[in-house]
Amino acid sequence: MDSRDKVFHEIYMDILSSKKEGSPLIIGINGIDTSGKSEFSKSFEKYLKEKKQKVQLIHLDDFHNPRKIRYSGEDEIENYFFKSFDIKKLVNDLLKPIRNRKLLQKELTLLNLQTDKYDTVKDYSIDKETLVILEGVFIFREEIEKYLDYKIFIEIPIRLCKERAIQRDVPLYGEDILKKYDTKYIPTQKYYLEKFPPQKHADIIIENSHWNNPRVVFKK
């Protein structure tokens, strides 16, 4: 069993022991930009399906607000943290119904970041046995955290954030994207980490500086 599978197994055992019969369980996977949240979530989804579990993966990035809202102010931290995502839509259309009704069959029309239009349709199917994974930045905030049954924080050093951005984002968006890391992404992540310290909010913290060698460094 490799390092990643060992971490998945430990989380899986925690989930099995905490899941209530007859109710879906919502897992939150959080971390700063470029920490590896999306890759970790997709790999964990695959692992759970191999265990014959029903899984529904939800990406916070699918709930972006339109550009005119995201860039409506001059304060970059305020724009990123408070205006980037349609938190009310996520909560009212998915999280609250999942918690209250235990069942959900829903088709949502969501924002396409490339076109800045609501032209992306996604289906969500959840029943009482489903393990729901919600992946994204800032999800330990009050409006979302109360719906999370098990919270995972994917940790990397802040300095590594920009190093990974050079590899991941510069080929797609050009060198100018690095300025956003200096003025927007990294300052907002520092603000978030100070306001919502992972060791206070997470059930488990995974150190993910090396993609293929994640380590459990904290557990409640």
What domains, with CATH codes, occur in the chain? 3-207 (3.40.50.300)
Nearest to 157 by CA among 119, 208, 83, 90: 208
Q: How confident is the model at residue 56 (pLDDT cuts 50, 70, 90)?
A: very high
Give CA–CA dist 148/27, Å, rounded: 6
Burial 25-36 (b: 16+ CB within 10 A, else e): bbbbbbbbbbbb
- 3-class DSSP assignment, residue 198: helix
How are beta strands 204-207 and 131-135 bridged, if at all? unpaired
| pLDDT of residue 61 exceeding 90 | yes
- 3-class DSSP assignment, residue 4: helix
pTM for this predicted structure: 0.97
Q: How confident is the model at residue 207 (pLDDT cuts 50, 70, 90)?
A: very high
Q: For all residues of the chain together, what is the average pLDDT?
A: 97
Cβ atoms of 196 and 31 closer than 8 Å = no
Q: What is the pLDDT of residues 112-123, one digit of tens each?
A: 999 999 999 999
Q: Note the pLDDT of residue 197.
A: 98
Q: Note the pLDDT of residue 211.
A: 87
| pLDDT of residue 216 exceeding 90 | yes
Q: Note the pLDDT of residue 1.
A: 74
Mean pLDDT on 101-122 = 97
Q: What is the pLDDT of residues 167-192, one digit of tens each?
A: 999 998 999 999 999 999 999 999 99
Report the percentage of the chain scoring pLDDT > 70: 100
Q: Which sign, positive or negative, has the C-alpha torsion 178, 37, 122, 77?
A: negative
Mean pLDDT on 25-51 = 98
